[in-house]
Structure 1
Amino acid sequence: MALSTFSVYWADLTAAHRSEADVARLPVPVRPYRTAQSRQLSMLSKWLLHYALHHQPPHPNEPLVSLRYHVNGKPYLSDSRYAFSLSHSGQLAACVITPRRAVGIDIQKRVQLRPGAEGLFLSQEERERMMGEDILSLWSQKEAAYKALGHELDARLTDFRFEQVQQLRCRDVVVRLIPVLTNPNYIGYVAYEAGDENDLMTVQLECL
């Protein structure tokens, strides 16, 4: 069975070969950030998108000029045939890009969630079904699914329900998850709508 591939780019904020000035020159909308590191990570994820678009045909000179945001905060390109998703956590940023297909990515630095945190995003039925699973992993899967299709389906995070590990459903839409392995101290997933049981994807990682 042939597998299709999502392109995933990721980078460490502390990489010595890239200066903050490289990132600061990007023509993107100015948005408020809670901390200087949040701003740097957000800009780094856009730098990854800038790089990715320059390596996809056609590649405009300033591909981020058309970057816009939906009312729920989801970024999109108003004049591009490419869909993308951005994420950052800890010291890492990531970007996934694909032509004409809703996609979402979420990465999380491994931390200890407070007791009972799963109740914020898992139903009682899900908690019983997914007992023993890594809670942070389940959180990341839901975040990726929401980022892929929450806007399109006018859905909340909790509207995405686990059918099994790495597969959720929202109404009549099945969402599959692919693990993204960037760093031993992080977990991550790419989410996409599965057309049928044979609609299987993989990811190709590039570290920048």
Structure 2
Amino acid sequence: MIHIYYAYIHEKSHKELIEKHLFRFPEIYQQKIHRYRRWQDAQLSLLGRLLLVHGMNKLNKNFDDYQLEYTDYNKPFFVDSNLKFNISHSGNIVVCAITEGFEVGIDLELINEIKIESFKSQMTAYEWKRVNESENKTNAFYEYWTKKEAVVKAHGEGLSIPLKKIEIINGKTVVKDSSFITKEVFLDKKYKSYLAILAKKTMDINFRDSKKVTIKKVHFESILVL
């Protein structure tokens, strides 16, 4: 089962959120939050961590920030746990995906009008052709972009993997002998979001079954009373 939680940031509740929750995290994380100049950036980061706490509570798991460690590629993970998670944010939305037993990546992007040609070097010839043949090039671009980013995050080696080396065909790709499958996650019509998991024969069918992926909007009031 894959659990996805998302929430919108709110300026009017920012002070309350900081006062009620920031102290519960390690000092180094608190310092990181305080370094942000914009309240939006600070809240996006903190809200992502709180969505993880909320999701773990729903799974009857105890969250312990001090059990979080980071790989050489700066991907966070829990020590001695098969719980996997990934967080993404863009615009005014934060999203957190949680699974047990297999790697997961999620990417979220606010759809803006951009110069797509600037990203040609990040696309394969096949992907670039599909984007340019699409009736809505902007939407097609963001679809590929979020798929590729989600795969990179699920793989765990970050930007050390050039996006052009990742080719998505029919929602699937192979990166360094590891297979990944992707699935669109609809959160808001102004955004594009995709989920990626490290594929195994036993979970391929389950992943494509919508009943195996739960998506829940978390209201700000629920976060404040955690």
TM-score, with structure 1 as normaliser: 0.83
Maintained 8 Å contact 1:106/1:140: yes
Cα RMSD after superposing both structures: 2.6
Letter in 2 for 1:146: V
Tell me the number of residue pairs that the alignment of Structure 1 and Structure 2 aligns. Answer: 200
Of residues 190, 193, 199 in structure 1, which corresponds to 2:198? 193
Partner of residue 173, structure 2 = 168
**Which structure 2 residues correspond to residues 14-163 of structure 1 after superposition, within 5 A?**
14=10, 19-20=16-17, 21-28=19-26, 29-30=28-29, 31=32, 33=36, 35-57=38-60, 59-60=61-62, 62-131=63-132, 132=134, 134-151=140-157, 155-163=161-169
Distance 1:38 1:15, change over 3 A: closer
Of residues 178, 181, 185 in structure 1, which corresponds to 2:183? 178
Higher strand residue share: 1
Deviation at 1:23, TM superposition (A): 3.9
Higher helix residue share: 2
Deviations 1:47-101 (A, max 9, x none): 00011112224x22x4222223333332222242200000000010010011110
Task: Structure 2 unaligned segments of length 5 or more: list them.
Answer: 219-226
Task: Structure 1 unaligned segments of length 5 or more: list them.
Answer: none
- In structure 2, what is the Cα distance between the partners aligned to 1:196 and 1:100? 14
Letter in 2 for 1:175: F
- In structure 2, what is the Cα distance between the partners aligned to 1:199 and 1:36? 40
Partner of residue 222, structure 2 = none
Maintained 8 Å contact 2:127/2:144: no
Deviates more, 1:99-108 or 1:75-84: 75-84
Maintained 8 Å contact 2:122/2:162: no
TM-score, with structure 2 as normaliser: 0.77
Maintained 8 Å contact 1:148/1:192: yes
- In structure 2, what is the Cα distance between the partners aligned to 1:22 and 1:122? 43
- In structure 1, what is the Cα distance between the partners aligned to 2:179 and 2:20? 39
Maintained 8 Å contact 2:83/2:101: yes
Distance 1:197 1:80, change over 3 A: closer
